[in-house]
């Protein structure tokens, strides 16, 4: 049984510093189950049928976004590509104004810098993501922890510049003193957050992009396009009766990471999805090198260090992209053994790609194997 924060618990009020922004009046997100980091996902082809989907793309939240949808018959004026692009852009801009740790005016940044330990009223989106984050933290016994922000910054993966020296043990211990998902309470209604120590700060990057993919999916459905695909970085959500064929890329070799932009991606698995989300997490494309040693961006909150296990990537299929996104990161932290055990226990649809020397080994849970087919490249499997 997972214990959730007590919504009835009350406390004093907390006023976040004024951001200078007007309240958001755009697409209203209904209450649903919400929200990763990325390796990569590639859309191979659209659903079967003679009609071709409308395809739109852009940049937001520090990565790329794309949506594909089928026009109903007769076509709807609300699905004019220019209007859809504007609605998608407005939705993502709003979510970035909530979750960004790179914007000092974002709602999350203002909560992080506030020193009050009283309840702080927040947007429904922030409370929803914080609630799901805590649920995943409890499920993974703290391997997933959004309060890892102080460690993320210490290792140079935050808004500041990359570091040139490895943090000392004393610096890591000092940052770890501010980490602990139990120290961040969530109240769904009215939505509010409360930290038990003033120094606590959160980073919901491992959920926010998946949450955004869910939000775009809801937007497209509301606009009259139930058959669609929405993707942000390594997080993807499909909807409708038509299956969408997608692919998980092979993680690049560590020697080639950062130098493969011109190379055609090798495909690890091809998957047909309908009404499901797919997220991939790993360190292959986001890392720093200090004194010749490579360190990935995924931090283990239990040790204060970047993860150093045999996993090259983990992909998770789930109904909600917010959840698949968080689980992919959590399983990377847990590693190939504990992560696999959790995936089997929770009946998760996951693909683990392990690096064994120069060889990549695939390990798929039974739930994943029922959905996916092997990629075209010769792969070693077990």
Domains and their CATH numbers in the chain: 115-195 (1.10.3980.10)
* Tokens describing residue 121: 């009223």
pLDDT for the residue numbered 14: 61
pLDDT at 163: 77
pLDDT tens, residue by residue, 125-176: 999 999 999 999 999 999 999 999 999 999 988 877 777 888 999 999 999 9
CA distance 207 to 108: 13
Of residues 114 and 380, more confidently modeled: 114
Q: How far apart are CA 226 and CA 71, in angstroms?
A: 9
The token pair at 298 is 């995924």
Least Cα distance to 208 among 132, 293, 123, 119 occurs for 132
Residue 233 has pLDDT above 70, yes or no: yes
Quick one: how many helices (H) and strands (E) in the chain?
A: 8, 20
Q: How confident is the model at residue 258 (pLDDT cuts 50, 70, 90)?
A: very low
Task: Report yes or no: 309 and 284 within 8 Å, Cβ to Cβ.
Answer: no
State the Cα–Cα distance between residues 215 and 229, nearest whole angstrom. Answer: 12
Q: Mean pLDDT over all residues of the chain?
A: 84
Tens digit of each residue's pLDDT (9 = 90 or more) over 327-378: 999 999 999 999 999 999 999 999 999 998 889 999 999 999 988 765 554 4
pLDDT of residue 51: 76
Q: Residues 185, 235, 155, CA angle at the centre, nearest 5°?
A: 60
Residue 27 has pLDDT above 50, yes or no: no
Q: How confident is the model at residue 18 (pLDDT cuts 50, 70, 90)?
A: very low
The band of 37, judged by pLDDT with boundaries at 50, 70 and 90, is very low
Name the nearest CA neighbour of 347 among 316, 312, 381.
Answer: 316
Give residue 237's pLDDT.
97
Interhelix angle 205-222/81-99, nearest 10 degrees:
150
155/304 Cα distance (integer angstroms): 9
Alpha helices in the chain (DSSP H): 81-99, 107-113, 124-139, 149-154, 169-176, 205-222, 321-345, 366-369
Quick one: which of 326, 260, 314 has its CA closest to 282? 314
Least confident of 40-54, 113-127, 241-255, 285-299: 40-54
242 vs 347, higher pLDDT? 347
User: Is the model more confident about 381 or about 276?
Assistant: 276
Q: How far apart are CA 301 and CA 188, in angstroms?
A: 25
The confidence band for 255, taking pLDDT boundaries of 50, 70 and 90, is low
CB 320 within 8 A of CB 32: yes
325 against 25, higher pLDDT: 325
pTM (predicted TM-score): 0.84
The pLDDT value given to residue 88: 98
Q: Which pLDDT belongs to residue 13?
A: 45
Query: Does 111 have pLDDT greater than 50?
Result: yes
Confirm if 64 and 41 have CB atoms less than 8 A apart.
Answer: no
Q: What pLDDT score was predicted for residue 16? A: 55
């Amino acid at each position: 049984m997972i214990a959730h924060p007590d919504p009835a618990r009350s406390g004093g009020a907390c006023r976040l510093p004024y951001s200078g922004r007007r309240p958001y009046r755009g697409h209203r997100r209904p209450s649903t189950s919400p929200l990763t980091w990325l390796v990569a996902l590639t859309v191979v082809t659209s659903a079967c049928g003679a009609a071709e989907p409308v395809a739109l793309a852009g940049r937001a939240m520090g990565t790329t976004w794309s949506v594909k949808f089928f026009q109903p018959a007769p076509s709807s004026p609300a699905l004019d590509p220019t209007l859809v692009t504007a609605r998608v852009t407005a939705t993502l801009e709003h979510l970035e104004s909530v979750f960004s740790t790179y914007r000092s005016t974002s709602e999350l940044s203002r909560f992080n810098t506030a020193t009050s330990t009283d309840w702080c009223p927040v947007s429904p989106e922030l409370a929803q993501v914080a609630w799901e984050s805590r649920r995943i933290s409890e499920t993974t016994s703290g391997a997933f922890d959004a309060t890892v922000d102080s460690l993320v910054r210490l290792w140079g993966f935050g808004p500041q510049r990359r570091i040139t020296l490895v943090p000392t043990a004393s610096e890591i211990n000092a940052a770890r003193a501010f980490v602990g998902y139990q120290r961040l309470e969530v109240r769904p209604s009215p939505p509010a957050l409360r930290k038990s120590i003033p120094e606590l700060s959160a980073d919901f990057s491992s959920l926010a992009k998946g949450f955004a993919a869910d939000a775009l999916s809801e937007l497209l459905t509301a606009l009259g396009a139930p058959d669609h695909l929405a993707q942000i970085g390594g997080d993807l959500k499909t909807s409708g009766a038509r299956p969408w064929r997608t692919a998980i890329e092979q993680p690049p070799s560590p020697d080639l990471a950062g130098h493969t932009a011109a190379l055609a991606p090798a495909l690890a698995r091809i998957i047909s999805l309908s009404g499901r989300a797919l997220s991939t997490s790993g360190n292959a494309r986001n890392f720093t090198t200090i004194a010749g040693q490579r360190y990935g961006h995924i931090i283990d909150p239990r040790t204060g260090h970047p993860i150093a296990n045999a996993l090259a990537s983990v992909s998770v299929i789930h109904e909600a992209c917010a959840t698949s996104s968080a689980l992919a990161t959590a399983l990377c932290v847990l590693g190939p053994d504990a992560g696999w055990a959790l995936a089997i226990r929770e009946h998760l649809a996951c693909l683990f790609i392990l690096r064994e020397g120069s060889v990549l080994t695939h390990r798929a849970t039974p739930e994943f194997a029922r959905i996916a087919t092997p990629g075209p490249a010769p792969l070693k499997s077990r």
